[in-house]
Structure 1
Amino acid sequence: MKLNKTFLAVATALPLLSTAAFADTVSAADLKERVFGSVFGEYYMPDIDKTESAAWNYMEKDWGYGIELGYYLTENWALRAEFAKLDLKSKLDGSDSDGDRIGIDAMYHLPSMSSVYLVGGLKRMDAVQTTTAVNLGVGYKHFFNQNFGVFAEANRYQGIDESYGDAGIKLGLTYAFGSAAAKPAPAPAPAPAPVPVQAAPADSDGDGVVDTMDRCADTPANHKVDATGCTIYEEKMAAVGDIDIEVRFPFDSAVVPQSQRSDVQSLGAFMQRFPESTVLIEGHASNTGNPAYNMRLSERRANAVADMLKNEFNIAASRITAVGFGVTRPRVEGNTAEAHAANQRIEAKVTAKVKEPVLR
């Protein structure tokens, strides 16, 4: 007598169906105190000892079918009676080894997974020989509505008066008669006591602050206001635009001439006034001569402006970034004198803290 591997695999897999399948539309409470009937097909697997014994006519694995009639006693327990017809054949010569099985079962539906149940019962087996067996198994059922469902079940049949261990796997349809008991409707909540209607205080500008508390009349409708009705502002760093610094250098020089210092001085004064502002100094060159040399020259000229801001206006180095772009970012395309004059420039991109209204 050996334990069937197919039976073990199915019995292990059935509990996993409760997490893989769709949720039932019927709860365990809906099935309580209802009669059910089922029809099923079964793949029956006799003990290996039976398949090798003349006393059992070398009984082979084969199919069967049957019916069940049962009753759900509680949300967890049910009883059923079963009749099965086993259409078995001899492995030796193909002769019939048909038989019948009749018995009763108790079913226990797991509280945490009501679709999964354990089953155990007593069976009378009449196939070649007439014997008595107990069965233990596990099953899974899924209801599509209040009445119809499908189920799968694996059982082990252990002989009592004869030593054998058969196995069977069922697939079937089940029908629960009647319908679930109607749940009592919840008592309606008591009606709230009427609240006296009071005139709303005046709010002329519609900002949510009554006129008696509003210190800022006619605030814009999309502005968020404080408890006194005044616009709430926030400060944040934002780009205030590009500033052209008209600094022209002598040929092959990175020293800012005295005559070209006014724009740099204006920038320095602005950054002193706004101590949280930062600046990106960009050096650009015209497209004449060697590009690599022009790149280094534009870097030196950007650093010259940055040094002037640090040394003469005491602007912290952490607030200044100097970059040379050489001829890579021309303002005017072309190889004319006008294009060269426009492209040989210093630009400053300033970021400063600005004050903006908070919008609703």
Structure 2
Amino acid sequence: MKKTARISLLVAGSLIALATAASAENREGAFSLSPVIGGITFGGGQHLETAPVYGIRAGYNFTKALGIEALFDYSNTEPTSNGSKLTNGKNTDYYRMGGELLYHFFPDNKFVPYFAAGYAAHTFKGAVPAGESSDVKGVGDYGLGAKYFLNDKVALRGDVRHLIYRQASETQHAVEYTMGLHFPFGGKTEAAPVAEPAPEPVVAPVAPSDSDGDGVFDTADNCPGTPQGVKVDAKGCPLDSDRDGVYDYQDNCPGTPEGVKVDTKGCPLDSDKDGVYDSYDKCPGTPEGTTVDKTGCPVKLCSPTVLNIEFDTNKSNIKPQYNDELKRVADFLAEFPTAKGAIEGHTDNVGGKAYNMKLSQRRANSVRSYLIKTFNVAPERISAKGHGLTKPVASNKTADGRKQNRRIEANFTCNGK
């Protein structure tokens, strides 16, 4: 009997050594049912033949490793040659009913070995050992087993148990060895492990670039491509100190007052070219050449626009008969003591342009001098300007037209009496 038990334990130990890693199969919370078949060998003192055994197991796993099983076994055996010690019949029926605790090793493997220990009630019916009866008595057991999961619904199992019990006032032994199928159902199923993402490649940091060399990195530069050497603000844009929309390095008129409209060169607009910027011009659209005041509006001319004076050819001296005509101008200046103006000379187109320009200037100068010397007009009140043939008032194609163009104009600004 002792030799049989040692062999059984050795076989069970070999099963443990064959365990290999695989997917989790012994599930926590799973119920199971296992029909088994095998054999039972009784100790020699019981005078019973080794016989087949049939059984059923019903189990529950508290955890992956720890479980419990209820068991029922039946065997029909015969007496040995010493069966004279048996009574009450020729054959013996053996029944065992109880439970075991199971501890599973490597519960995450397909091949799951385990250790079992339990307690049951057993009875012999028919020919029983001498001095015994067919009363139900207790029997303890321990042993090893293993399950091999074919899939998550069925496994093969094998078990070896050493049974220990009292019989005829003696301790008796038996070894039970079975094979069967194991059917688990329910329980917790672990999710398949999620593969961790591959680590991203480590990229060496790249130094920030400043393509236009303005001191502001490209990632923060709102004005890329600034010309070399141009001063910029914190956003990489050229400075516009007067905020006229034209960068300082392109601004020909820096310091333009805020709000004044400017051209592409940063200079205030003067659409009618009267010398007064549009933003201050109260009389836009003044004809070119018109004398205007500081608001851009034409000034009132209070003197005769044309003086009736004629000169000899290529001459600029004033003849005495024109004294009264010039006195009219002097009287005006006396009436308006704050008035100032200009004597402007004009010619026809006879002769060259340069010649006529000089001639008109000499005649304008002659009239100015006559007024100053003859009528004591203050020199600072009168200027002289020759325009030559540039401002005709009539056609130079006729004699009458040319006569009209040969003229002297007195233009004065009336600033009050």
What TM-score range do you get, normalising by the shorter chain? 0.3 to 0.5
Asked which structure has the greater RCO (Cα within 8 Å, sep 6+), the reply is 1
Give the structure-2-normalised TM-score.
Answer: 0.40
Q: State which structure, 1 or 2, has the greater radius of gyration over its C-alpha atoms.
A: 2
TM-score scaled by length of structure 1: 0.45
Q: Tell me which protein shows more strand as a share of its residues.
A: 1
